[in-house]
Amino acid sequence: MTDPRPKQGKSVFIRTYGCQMNVYDSERMAGLLKPLGYGVAETPEGADLVILNTCHIREKAAEKVYSELGRLKRLKADKAKAGGEMKIAVAGCVAQAEGPEITARAPQVDMVVGPQAYHRLPELIAKAARERGDVLDTDFAVEEKFDRLAAREAEGPTAFLTVQEGCDKFCTFCVVPYTRGAEVSRNVDAIVAEARSLAAQGVKEITLIGQNVNAWASNPPAGVVGDQWGLGELCRHLARIDGIERIRFTTSHPRDMDDGLIAALGEEEKLMPYLHLPVQAGSDKILKAMNRGHTAEHYVKLIERIRAARPDIALSGDFIVGFPGETSEDFEATLALVDTVGYASAYSFKYSRRPGTPGAAMQKQVAEDEKDDRLARLQSLLERQRQAFNEAQIGAELPVLFEKPGRHEGQLIGRSPYLQSVHVEAPQSLLGSVAKVKIEGVTPNALAGALKTKEEAAA
Ligand code: SF4
């Protein structure tokens, strides 16, 4: 039997679209391929394997993938002319949603691998090498994927850690329940093992990720008696790992924000005071049409409870304007909610029809120019709130985790507890550690500050 493993010195280029789940998945794919001799290439030109890790959430996502595949077809032909071979794989949510269509429309694609199947990439590569034609693997087998992913190498002092996948909420605008499948929680022992391995490699901050991360639920770890744990218990447990100094989690759903998690936010210092809690709209009529399962009042009251538990919490949200049936009064209700809550940052988009979702078939689609106007008004309000939040930090002393060198000599860039980028004159020796920084100014996208103690500045 021939050894399916590529020779040392092969290269893989991975292009990542979309959310943090995909960023994490791409890192894991690179980690899976490393033992097979694949180094990561910075560009697709000349790579032996190109993976497009796709996202289906935005408009024209599939079209963008096909246009990128057109470019790759030329690169593949160039490589063949030079006597080499380039394999092309499409991974992620577009792969899941449109697998057979991709292989039919883009014969240059060798592998189509869904988000729950990429742990089988090494086998797929071997299979693609053996067989002519494309290889399609879009089965849902999340547990198996979690089990088979080897411990990965950390890159820098922060890392994502997947604890949950999938979604059962079926918001009427969203494809995730169809592409990522039902909610599945990873077991505590596997999460702890990965967190310990990351901590041992110098990771100080872990961000627990999942489509509905706060729907995470699992039996307690081996040897601990008791009821099912929720995300609050998991965070408290992970906070006991030596070396882990900061914990974050994203993305949360308002319906899964339970008392245990709110209490943990209030009591566990390692949990950062920053919460991404999408609401999407401020009108109950639109929330119902979106199938969000809560009202605007429920959301606002929930924020009050979270703020009572953790007064310094900063909030981030997601908003969609121009959902089918949204009147100007409905939109005003969104502005009113934003005014009431006050966000430190936010993501906002125009509604776009996603094929196969209930929203795509709804009557009363909103005209594009109306959506443009509403988005501009909403973004202007959110931007004012973001700037005000940043300016309010001037004079504060914030613990900053230094992640990378800045553009200027002697400068480091780190993150505040509120996920703001902070630029500081600081010695390289502080990279990967947390130090107190006095905030002195704000730029459009970052804070600027100085190390609090002379000793740190001279370290
Ligand atoms: S909660 Fe709604 S928006 Fe979020 S992933 Fe699930 S269906 Fe999509």
pTM: 0.79
Going from the Cα of 342 to the center of ligand 1, the distance in angstroms, rounded, reads: 22
Segment 367-390 shows an average pLDDT of 97
Pairing of strands 446-451, 158-162: unpaired
Pairing mode of beta strands 345-350, 397-405: unpaired
What's residue 455's pLDDT?
56
Q: Is the CB of 177 under 6 A from ligand 1?
A: yes
What are the sequence ranges of the domains in the chain? Answer: 10-141, 144-391, 397-458
What dihedral angle (degrees, nearest 10) is formed by the CA atoms of 307, 308, 310, 315? 0
Centre of ligand 1 to C-alpha 248, Å, is: 19
Pocket test for ligand 1, best of 168, 179, 253 (most atoms within 8 A of CB): 253
| Token representation of residue 252 | 């949360």
Q: How many whole angstroms from 59 Cα to the centroid of ligand 1?
A: 16
* pLDDT tens track for 261-277: 999 999 999 999 999 99
Comparing 53 with 98, the larger pLDDT belongs to 53
CA distance 322 to 343: 20
Mean pLDDT of 191-212: 94
Please tell me the class of the 10-141 domain. alpha beta
261 in contact with ligand 1, CB cutoff 6 A: no
User: Which token pair is 351?
Assistant: 């509604």
Note the pLDDT of residue 454: 56
Pocket probe for ligand 1: among 19, 55, 170, the residue whose CB has the most ligand atoms within 8 Å is 170
Q: How confident is the model at residue 142 (pLDDT cuts 50, 70, 90)?
A: low
Determine the distance separating the centroid of ligand 1 and the alpha carbon of 397, expressed in angstroms: 36
Q: What is the pLDDT of residue 58?
A: 65
User: Residue 136: pLDDT band by 50, 70, 90 thresholds?
Assistant: low
Among the atoms of ligand 1, which is closest to the Cα of residue 292? 2
Distances (CA, A) of 380 to 294, 330, 348, 377, 455: 26, 18, 11, 5, 42
Q: pLDDT-derived band of residue 96, with 50, 70 and 90 as boundaries? A: confident
**Interval between CA 166 and ligand 1 midpoint (Å):** 9
For 364-418, where are the alpha helices, taking DSSP H only? 368-391
Closest to 331 measured CA to CA, from 303, 302, 293, 372: 372
Closest to 319 (Cα-Cα) out of 301, 297, 306, 336: 336
Q: How far does the centroid of ligand 1 lie from the alpha carbon of residue 152, in Å?
A: 28
What is the pLDDT at residue 329?
A: 98
DSSP classification of residue 219: P
The residue ranking higher by pLDDT, 116 or 111, is 111
26 CB near ligand 1 (under 6 Å) = no
pLDDT of residue 151: 60
| Ligand 1 proximity of 253 Cβ (cutoff 6 Å) | yes
Q: What is the pLDDT of residue 274?
A: 97
Categorize the per-residue pLDDT at 1 as very low, low, confident or very high, splitting at 50, 70 and 90. Answer: very low
Which pLDDT belongs to residue 6?
42
Q: Write down the residue that tokens 């290439």 correspond to.
A: 41
Pocket test for ligand 1, best of 19, 170, 171, 299 (most atoms within 8 A of CB): 171
Task: Give CA–CA dist 212/373, Å, rounded.
Answer: 30
Q: How far is the CA of 255 from the centre of ligand 1 (A)?
A: 11
The closest alpha carbon to 114, from 63, 168, 173, 176, belongs to 176
Provide CB contacts within 8 A for 249, sequence distance 6+.
163, 207, 208, 209, 210, 213, 214, 231, 235
How far apart are alpha carbons 250 and 400 in whole angstroms? 20
pLDDT in the model for residue 254: 97
For the four alpha carbons of 206, 212, 214 and 219, in that order, the dihedral sign comes to negative
| Pick among 3.40.190.290, 3.80.30.20, 3.40.50.720, 3.30.70.20: CATH of 144-391 | 3.80.30.20
Give CB contacts under 8 A, 24+ apart, made by 141-145: 141/116, 141/117, 142/116, 142/166, 142/181, 142/184, 143/184, 144/119, 145/116, 145/117, 145/118, 145/119
pLDDT band at 310 (very low <50, low <70, confident <90, very high): very high
Q: Which residue is listed with tokens 């039902």?
A: 182
pLDDT score recorded for residue 19: 75
Q: Which atom of ligand 1 is nearest to the CA of 177?
A: 7
Which one, of 82, 73, 83, 35, lies nearest residue 52 by Cα? Answer: 73
Q: Which residue, by CA, sits nearest to atom 8 of ligand 1?
A: 174
Residue type, 107: P
By percentage, how much of the chain surpasses pLDDT 70?
Answer: 91
- Give distance in angstroms: CA of 171 to centre of ligand 1: 5
CB atoms within 10 A of CB 226: 8
Strand order across the 205-209 sheet: 158-162, 205-209, 246-250
| pLDDT per position as a tens digit, 390-439 | 999 999 999 999 999 998 899 999 999 999 999 999 999 999 999 999 99
CATH number of 397-458: 2.40.50.140
- Alpha-helical segments (H) within 222-258: 231-238
Cis status of the peptide bond prior to 138, with omega within 30 of 0: no
Whether 211 lines ligand 1, by a CB cut-off of 6 Å, is yes
Mark out the alpha helices in 221-367 (DSSP H runs).
Answer: 231-238, 259-267, 284-289, 296-309, 328-341
Best residue for ligand 1 mutational test, from 169, 213, 252, 354 (most atoms within 8 Å of Cβ): 169
Task: Give the residue, out of 56, 174, 212, 319, with the most ligand 1 atoms within 8 A of its beta carbon, to mutate for a pocket test.
Answer: 174
Considering the chain, what is the average pLDDT of its residues?
89
- Measured from the Cα of 280, ligand 1's closest atom is 3
Backbone dihedral angles phi then psi of residue 181, each to the nearest 5 degrees: 80, -170
Do 397-458 and 10-141 have the same topology in CATH?
Answer: no
Q: Using CA atoms, how far apart are residues 12 and 51, in angstroms rounded to an integer?
A: 7
Q: Is 120 in the pocket of ligand 1 (CB under 6 A)?
A: no
Q: What is the mean pLDDT of residues 147-166?
A: 81
280 lines ligand 1 (CB under 6 A): no
Does 203 have pLDDT greater than 50? yes
Q: What distance in Å separates the CA atoms of residue 80 and residue 94, rounded to the nearest whole number? A: 27
- For residue 99, name the pLDDT band (cuts at 50, 70, 90): confident
227 SS3 class: coil
- Is the pLDDT at 177 greater than 90, yes or no? no
What atom in ligand 1 is closest to the CA of residue 174? Answer: 8
